[in-house]
Amino acid sequence: LGIPPLAASPARKELVTGEAEYTDDVPMPPNGLHAALILSKKPHACILAIDDSVAKSSPGFAGIFFAKHVPGINMVGPVVVDEELFASVVVTCVGQVIGVVVADTHENAKLAARKVQIQYKELPAVLSIEEAIAANSFHPETERFLRKGDVDHCFSSKQCDKVIEGEVQVGGQEHFYLEPNSTLVWTVDGGNEVHMISSTQAPKKHQQYVARVLGLPMSKVVCKIKRVGGGFGGKETRSAFLAAVAATPSYLLNRPVKLTLDRDIDMMITGQRHSFLGKYKVGFMKDGKIRALDLEIFNNGGNSLDLSLAVLERAMFHSDNVYEIPNVRVKGKVCFTNLPSNTAFRGFGGPQGMLIAENWIQRISMELKISPEVIREVNFQRDGSVLHYGQKIENCTLERLWNQLKTSSDFLTVQQAAKLFNTDNRWKKRGVAIIPTKFGISFTAKFMNQAGALVHVYTDGTVLVTHGGVEMGQGLHTKVAQVAASSFDIPLSSVFISETSTDKVPNASPTAASASSDIYGAAVLDACEQIKARMEPISSKHNFVSFAELVSACYMERIDLSAHGFYKTPDIGFDWGAGKGNPFRYFTYGAALAEVEIDTLTGDFHTRQADVILDLGLPLNPAIDVGQIEGAFIQGLGWVALEELKWGDAAHKWLPAGCLYTCGPGSYKIPSMDDVPLKFSISLLKDAPNPKAIHSSKAVGEPPFFLASAVFFAIKDAIIAAREDAGLSGWFPLDNPATPERIRMACVDEFTKPFINSDFHPK
C-alpha cells in the first residue's frame, strides 16, 4: 500500500455557480411529457372509486395511468418486495402513489393530477412508534438480537452498585438534498428499450425496478447519472420507485417523460431518517465502570420495509458507541406505521444507536456526580476489546484522538470559562461537551461489498474511468481519478470520469455506507494495474518521454488498453443466527468538542465553538475530507437541535392525520450560515495509516455526522446549569431535537412552573 502523490484537484467553478447540469437541467427530448403524481390523501384507507373524467379534459393532458396499466409486476422493494408501485386497493400512507398523469408542461400535469377524484373508506391508522408497540404493529420477521456475557445474571446477582432505567426518543430528519428527485426516461428503437437519466445513488436499482415494472429484461434498460445534487441516503432506494413510475407512461406512450418532484412533494412522500425509541437498563459501579446494558430499540419503518431492517441492525451494532460493556443484550424491532417509508440517511441508524448510548452515559454521570468525560474515558474500548457482536477491535486510535482533542481545543479552559460565565449570568448559560465516535465501515450485508470499474486508455494518453459509484458532492470521482492518475503516474487532468452508467459497470451496489472511495478506488486500481502489466514489456524496453508515447507504442503492438477492475472487501461477514461475526472491515474514529450558549428565556442557542478531529488514516484528499467533516457536522447539528418533523394528527383541524406539516424550509428549520459554530476547527489525526483500505486511507462520509451530538450534550450541560439556579440537580430527559421549545421548558424557572409537565420531573 503506497501513498499516492496528492494531485491538487482543480476547483469546479460550475458547481459553485450553479451552472453544472443536473437531471432536471437536461433538455427535454422532442415529444417529451411531464409527469405529476396522484397521491393518497389518507393514511390508511380502501380505495372505493377513482374518477379521472375531469382530469382527462384538463389542458395539455396526454395520459393517466394506474395499477391496472402496469405491463409487468406492480410490486417493488429493495430487500423485501412489499410495496405496490401504484396502490391498487388499499393505501397505507398519505402521499402513497396511486397513479401518474402526463401532460405537456409540469404545471399542466400537476393541474390534471389535482382533478382526479378518489373516494376512500378510512381504516384505523398507526402513526408513531408508541402506537405501533401498543397495536403490535411490526414489519414481519424484523426481530433481531445481539448478546454478550449474561445480562440477567449480572442484574440478579447484584454485581452493580447502581442500576438506571429509562427511555430515549430520537427524532427523524429530512434529507433536504438541494436537488429534489428527478428522472428523465425515454424509449429507444421504437419502444423496445428504455433509457433514463436519474438523480440517484443506485442506478442499478432504477434499472432493476424499471425492468420489473415494464416486464423487460435488465439488459434492455439503462440508467445513467452524471452527478447528483445531494443524496445523503435519500436516493439509495426511494428514488428508484419514482423512476419506475415515470417509466410506465414513457413505455406505454413510447414518449420521453420527465418526473421532477417539487420540494413539498419530495419531502411529503419520499421518507426520512428513522425516528427511534430506546428503552435501556444500565448497571454500573461507583467509579463509573459500566457492568451491563439491557437495551430494546424500535425504529419507525413506515409503510414498507425498504432498508429499515438494515438501519435497525446498524443501530444495534452502534449501540455501544465506543464503550466496553461486559454484559450486553440488545433487542430490536421495526415498527410498521402508516407513514411514508423511512429510509437510509447518513449514518444509517448508527447515530440513533450512539445517541441512545450517550444519553445513558450522560445520566450515569449525573447519578454519580462524576463529569461525563470521566465516565466516557474509564469505559473506552481499546485494542483487543471484543464487541457485543463478536468483532475484535484492532488499530484503535480513539484514545490518541481524544487526548489530542482535549489539548488542541483547550477543553479544561473552555469548561472553566463556561462555569465562570454561568455563575455571573442568570438567563444565559453556557455548556460544554466532548463526544467520541466509532463508525463501522462496510455494508452490513456482505454481498453488497463489491465494486466494478472500467478503465480505457486512449492513444493521446488520456484515460476514461468509469466505476459503479455516483458523484453526489462527496468528491468520489476526484478521489477515484487520483487513484488512477497515481497508478499511471500521470497528471490528474489526464483522467476523466464522465458518468455512472449501468451499461458500463453492471450490478453496482448503491453509492452508500461511506465505503465508495475504498471499494471503487480499489477496483479502479485493479484495472489500472492490469493495463500497466500489459504495457510493461513495452515500457521496460524504452524510455518514453510521455505517457501518450508509451500508450501509442503499446497500441501499435496491439496491446489491449482497456480493463475491467473488480474488488470485494475481504474478511467480513455476519451471521444473525449466531449473532456473531465481523460486519465491518474497520472503524473510523472521531471526537468533537462543542461549547454552546443558550438563552434560557427563549430557548435559543448558538454554538460558540466546535473542534472536530477524525482519524482518516492517510487521507486520499484532505481538502475533500475536511469539507465532508464540516458538512456532516452541520447536518448533524440540524438533526440534534434544529430540525423537527411534524405531522397532522386526529385532533388537527385542517391537516389530515399522517400528513407531513413541515414540507419546506418555512416550517422545517435546516441549518443556515447563522448556525455554523462561531469558531469551527477541523483536524485530521496524523501518522495513522490504515492497513485495511486503499492507500492506507479511511472512509469519511458518514462517521463525523454523529459528532454533532456534542452540541446536543453541550446544550444539556447548559440546561443543567440553568436548573441548578432553580435548585434542581436531578437527572431529566431531553429528547432530540433540542428545539427552542424543549430547551426553554427544560430551563425550569418561575415562568415555566404553570406549564410544567411530568416530562421535566421524572418520577
Residues in the site for ligand LUZ, rule: CB under 6 A? 307, 310, 314, 344, 348, 443-445, 448, 512-513
> What's the min distance (Å) between Cβ of 236 and ligand LUZ?
6
- Which one, of 41, 16, 2, 199, lies nearest residue 119 by Cα? 41
Please choose, out of 140-148, 382-390, 468-476, 682-690, the segment that lies near ligand MTE by the rule CB under 6 A. Answer: 468-476
Which of ligand MOS, ligand MTE, ligand LUZ, none is residue 591 near (CB under 5 to 8 Å by kind)?
A: none
Instruction: For residue 448, state whether it binds ligand MTE (rule: CB under 6 A).
Output: no
Which of ligand MTE, ligand MOS, ligand LUZ, none is residue 314 near (CB under 5 to 8 Å by kind)?
A: ligand LUZ
Measure the CA–CA gap between 312 and 318, rounded to whole angstroms: 10
Q: How many CB atoms are closer than 10 A to CB 657?
A: 18
Per-residue string for binding with ligand MTE, 327-366, x by CB under 6 A?
A: -------------------x--------------------
> Using CB atoms, what's the residue nearest to ligand MOS?
233
Instruction: Pick the closer one to ligand LUZ by CB: 229 or 583.
Output: 583
Instruction: Pick the closer one to ligand MTE by CB: 356 or 515.
Output: 515
Does the annotation count 702 as an active-site position?
yes
First and final CA of the chain: distance in angstroms? 57
Measure the CA–CA gap between 12 and 679, rounded to whole angstroms: 27
- Which one, of 182, 345, 173, lies nearest residue 263 by Cα? 182
Which of ligand MOS, ligand LUZ, ligand MTE, none is residue 476 near (CB under 5 to 8 Å by kind)?
A: ligand MTE
Cell of 359: 444519553
Q: Which of 283, 473, 603, 638 binds ligand MTE (CB under 6 A)?
A: 473
Instruction: Judge contact between 485 and 497, C-beta under 8 A.
Output: no
Instruction: For residue 203, state whether it binds ligand MTE (rule: CB under 6 A).
Output: no
> Using CB atoms, what's the residue nearest to ligand LUZ?
348
Which of ligand MOS, ligand LUZ, ligand MTE, none is residue 310 near (CB under 5 to 8 Å by kind)?
A: ligand LUZ
Residues binding ligand MTE: number (CB under 6 A)? 20
Tell the burial category of 57 from Cβ atoms under 10 Å away from its Cβ (0-12, 13-18, 19+).
exposed
Max Cα separation, the chain?
A: 88
Q: Alpha-carbon torsion 47, 52, 58, 62, what sign?
A: positive
> What's the min distance (Å) between Cβ of 270 and ligand MOS?
13
Q: DSSP letters of 507-559?
A: SPPPS-TT-HHHHHHHHHHHHHHHHHHHHHHHHTTS--SSHHHHHHHHHHTT-
> Which amino acid is located at 393 in the chain?
I
C-alpha count within 13 angstroms, C-beta hemisphere, residue 131: 14
- Name the DSSP letter for residue 258: E
Which of ligand MOS, ligand LUZ, ligand MTE, none is residue 473 near (CB under 5 to 8 Å by kind)?
A: ligand MTE
| Cis ω for the linkage preceding 677 (within 30 of 0) | no
Which of ligand LUZ, ligand MTE, ligand MOS, none is residue 186 near (CB under 5 to 8 Å by kind)?
A: none
Instruction: Pick the closer one to ligand MTE by CB: 677 or 701.
Output: 701
Instruction: Pick the closer one to ligand MTE by CB: 177 or 713.
Output: 177
Tell the burial category of 214 from Cβ atoms under 10 Å away from its Cβ (0-12, 13-18, 19+).
buried
Tell the burial category of 628 from Cβ atoms under 10 Å away from its Cβ (0-12, 13-18, 19+).
buried
Measure the CA–CA gap between 223 and 21, rounded to whole angstroms: 17
Per-residue string for binding with ligand MTE, 656-695, x by CB under 6 A?
A: ----------------------------------------
> Which amino acid is located at 26 in the chain?
V
Q: Alpha-carbon torsion 386, 389, 394, 399, what sign?
A: negative
Binders of ligand MTE in range 475-494 (CB under 6 A): 476
Q: Which of 83, 471, 644, 702 is catalytic?
A: 702
> What's the min distance (Å) between Cβ of 160 and ligand LUZ?
33
Burial 149-181 (b: 16+ CB within 10 A, else e): bbbeebbeeeebeebbebebbbbbbbbbbebbb
Instruction: Pick the closer one to ligand MTE by CB: 200 or 338.
Output: 200
Residues forming contacts to ligand MOS in the complex (CB under 6 A) are: 201, 231, 233, 236, 344-346, 348, 512-513, 702
Instruction: Pick the closer one to ligand MOS by CB: 348 or 584.
Output: 348
Instruction: Pick the closer one to ligand LUZ by CB: 44 or 698.
Output: 698
Instruction: Pick the closer one to ligand LUZ by CB: 447 or 654.
Output: 447
- Which one, of 565, 750, 709, 628, lies nearest residue 173 by Cα? 709
Which strands, in side-by-side order, build the sheet including 450-457?
495-497, 463-467, 450-457, 562-568
> What's the min distance (Å) between Cβ of 347 and ligand MOS?
7
Measure the CA–CA gap between 348 and 367, rounded to whole angstroms: 31
Instruction: Judge contact between 658 and 341, C-beta under 8 A.
Output: no
Which of ligand LUZ, ligand MOS, ligand MTE, none is residue 271 near (CB under 5 to 8 Å by kind)?
A: none
Instruction: Judge contact between 552 and 408, C-beta under 8 A.
Output: no
Cell of 473: 458532492
Instruction: Judge contact between 743 and 598, C-beta under 8 A.
Output: yes
> What's the min distance (Å) between Cβ of 315 and ligand LUZ?
11
Which of ligand LUZ, ligand MOS, ligand MTE, none is residue 515 near (CB under 5 to 8 Å by kind)?
A: ligand MTE
Instruction: Pick the closer one to ligand LUZ by CB: 463 or 572.
Output: 572
Q: Which of 334, 512, 527, 718 binds ligand MTE (CB under 6 A)?
A: 512
Binders of ligand MTE in range 225-244 (CB under 6 A): 230-233
- Name the DSSP letter for residue 22: -
- Name the DSSP letter for residue 248: H
Q: Which of 248, 509, 514, 607 binds ligand MTE (CB under 6 A)?
A: 514
> What's the min distance (Å) between Cβ of 10 and ligand MTE?
18
Instruction: Pick the closer one to ligand LUZ by CB: 184 or 513.
Output: 513
Q: Which of 295, 472, 637, 688 binds ligand MTE (CB under 6 A)?
A: 472
Q: Which of 442, 628, 709, 736 binds ligand MTE (CB under 6 A)?
A: 628
Instruction: Pick the closer one to ligand LUZ by CB: 362 or 516.
Output: 516
**Active-site positions?**
702
- Residues of this chain that interact with ligand MTE (CB under 6 A) are 230-233, 346, 472-474, 476, 511-517, 628, 631, 701-702
